[in-house]
Amino acid sequence: MVAINRKSQTSNYLRRQRQFHIGDRVNTNNDCLGTVIRLDRDDGGDYIVVRLDILPGEFDYEPWELEII
């Protein structure tokens, strides 16, 4: 079995283009509006914690699942 390297220059390029900051207003991939409240990293990579306007609580998203508005 061969391991697949999923890292590519394109994904790194896109990640650098989307610099999220605490307080940014974002639109999620399912069209919910929210505010970035924390930027975190774990073994799986970077993720952004967002407080949505329509639901209580905090939700984590991958960088490519959010669009800064």
What integer pLDDT is reported at residue 41 of this predicted model? 86
Helix (H, G, I), strand (E, B) or coil at 68: strand
In the DSSP assignment, the letter for residue 57 is S
Model confidence pLDDT, tens digit, residues 5-62: 444 444 444 444 468 999 999 999 999 999 999 998 888 888 999 999 999 999 999 9
- Domains annotated for the chain, with CATH where assigned, are 21-68 (2.30.30)
Rounded to whole angstroms, the Cα distance separating 33 from 51 reads 9
pTM, to two decimals: 0.70
